[in-house]
């Protein structure tokens, strides 16, 4: 008989819509408040975990906060805008 594995502790996971992000692309981690910005030049503040592309456009970006490890899913990039 295989022993049952312990269930992992509930991880912090949040979804943020792109329209709720500041115009410069920055936002705070919902768990610890760490400032996360696309201008960060290293992986200290966040790490990109996954991307989802639909029709050659970014649809979803999943990152992990560099301070608390919270998983943050950024959605709503495909809102249809006129050029």
pLDDT at 42: 80
Backbone angles phi, psi at 44, to 5 degrees: -70, -35
pLDDT at 44: 87
**Cα–Cα distance between 31 and 23 in angstroms, integer?**
21
pLDDT at 8: 43
pLDDT at 82: 47
Structure letter (DSSP) for residue 63 = E
pLDDT values of the chain reduced to their tens digit, one per residue, 83 residues = 555 544 445 678 999 998 888 889 899 999 999 999 989 888 789 999 999 999 898 999 999 999 999 999 999 887 555 44
pLDDT at 66: 92
List all residues 6 or more positions away from 61 whose beta carbon is below 8 Å from its beta carbon: 48, 50, 51, 52, 73, 74, 77
pLDDT at 4: 52
pLDDT at 15: 95
């Amino acid at each position: 008989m295989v022993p049952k594995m312990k269930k992992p502790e509930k991880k912090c996971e949040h979804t943020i819509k792109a329209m709720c992000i500041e115009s410069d692309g920055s936002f705070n981690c919902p768990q610890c408040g760490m400032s996360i910005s696309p201008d960060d030049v290293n992986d200290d503040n966040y790490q990109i975990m996954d991307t989802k592309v639909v029709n050659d456009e970014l649809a979803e970006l999943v990152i992990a906060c560099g301070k608390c490890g919270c998983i943050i899913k950024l959605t709503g990039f495909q809102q249809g805008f006129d050029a």
